[in-house]
Amino acid sequence: MKLGNYLRDRLWYYLIAAAALGLMLLFLAAYRVSGQLIIFITSIYLISVFFEELTGYLRKRQFYAELHQKLDELDQKYLIHEMINKPDFLEGEILYNALCDANKSMCEKVAEHKRRSDDFRDFIEMWVHEVKLPVASLQLMAHNHRDELGEKFTEQLRRIDDYTDQVLYYARSKNAEKDYIIKETSLKRAVANVAIKNREAAQLAGASIETEGLDITVMTDGKWLEFILGQFMANSLKYTVEGREPVIHISAEKLEDRVLLHFRDNGIGIPESDIPRVFDKSFTGENGHTYAKSTGMGLYIVKNLCDRLGHGISAASERGSFTELTIAFAKNDHYLI
């Protein structure tokens, strides 16, 4: 609160005070009061106005300065009333009470939305587990009646499973609660699980997978990592070069402070201008328009999961020759017991 602003705000009061003083002097003069007394009365009047204004200004300035400062520092500004002292002047009190009421209603609204989104998430989680039962059942049927149904049928089932997993992990990546377990996870085992799960798809594409140096453990959640690698795998099998035998090369590299997991394919690659945006939500890029339709959600969810787990992720590619995605796992002793 600047002094100038405060004075301007009080202009009407000063005008009235000046008018009152003028009127008073007029009466005093009319009653022929002595000049000395007039000066004395005027001084008392002016001094009292001055001190009254000064204390008023200081009280308000202290409150508003604190309010502004706290507001700047606060990350969640709607919590401001928790941070300030209750003011000792009327207008401040009115404002303070209004803030409290507004905040209370805001908190109720937030809680309601949180409850709704939690409900929805719980439902999604439950739904995904339920829908996996008929998928499992169909998969067994397909196997028991292989002659009629065969691998193409199984492959479509795997796609359904893949999309339901996307929903599950999207819900998980958006939730504030910690529902992952970071523990020592073998890269070899995670890669093997993902490979086995995608065997039919890989076989249909004629792809082979090479691994190198995966006998390393990293600190991560195994299931989340498998989902992430599954998304990479699905992309690599989708964007292959016609006439070239697809090869996926998965290798791990141990650096001083982190472990890098490289996932490289020999597919169509990503145009250079699209690379910075591959992790954006709903970004499909040129490949998504030209080759196979994509939702643009896979890598976006992957990025979210990596952020939550504290892993780094980056993409590199050359058009028509390769795409390489790299996950960086911190060697964090903090997690070790």
Helices 150-173, 298-309: axis angle to 10 degrees equals 50
Residue 134: φ, ψ to 5°: -60, -35
Could you give the dihedral angle defined by the CA atoms of residues 279, 281, 286 and 291, in that order, rounded to the nearest 10 degrees?
100
Q: Which residue type occupies 334?
A: H
Nearer to other proteins, 86 or 174 (CB): 174
Q: How far is the CB of 108 from other proteins (least distance, A)?
A: 32
Give 263's DSSP letter: E
Which runs of consecutive H residues, i.e. helices, occur in the chain?
3-9, 11-30, 35-73, 80-83, 90-144, 150-173, 187-197, 199-205, 222-238, 285-290, 298-309
**What residues make contact with other proteins under the rule CB under 8 A?**
129-130, 132-141, 143-144, 151, 157, 161, 165, 168, 179-181, 183, 188, 192, 195-197, 199, 202-203, 206-211, 221-224, 245
Bridge partners (DSSP) listed for residue 186: 217
Nearer to other proteins, 119 or 130 (CB): 130
Closer residue to other proteins (CB): 134 or 312: 134
Residue nearer to other proteins on the CB measure, 17 or 167: 167
Crossing angle of helices 187-197 and 222-238, in 10° steps, is 50
The nearest distance, CB 206 to other proteins, in angstroms, is: 5
In the complex, least distance from residue 169 CB atom to other proteins, rounded to whole angstroms: 9
Rounded to the nearest whole angstrom, what is the least distance from the CB of residue 223 to other proteins in the complex? 5
The CB-of-87 to other proteins minimum distance in angstroms stands at 50
* Pairwise CA distance, residues 88 & 63, whole Å: 9
Nearest to other proteins of 157, 252 (CB atom) = 157
- Give me the least distance between CB of 159 and other proteins, in Å please: 12
For other proteins, the closer of residues 157 and 218 by Cβ is: 157
Mode of pairing for the β-strands spanning 258-265 and 217-220: unpaired
Q: Which residue has the tokens 């964090």?
A: 332
Considering the complex, what minimum distance in angstroms separates the CB of residue 90 from other proteins? 56
CB nearer other proteins, residue 194 or residue 268: 194
Tokens, residue 35: 């000049």
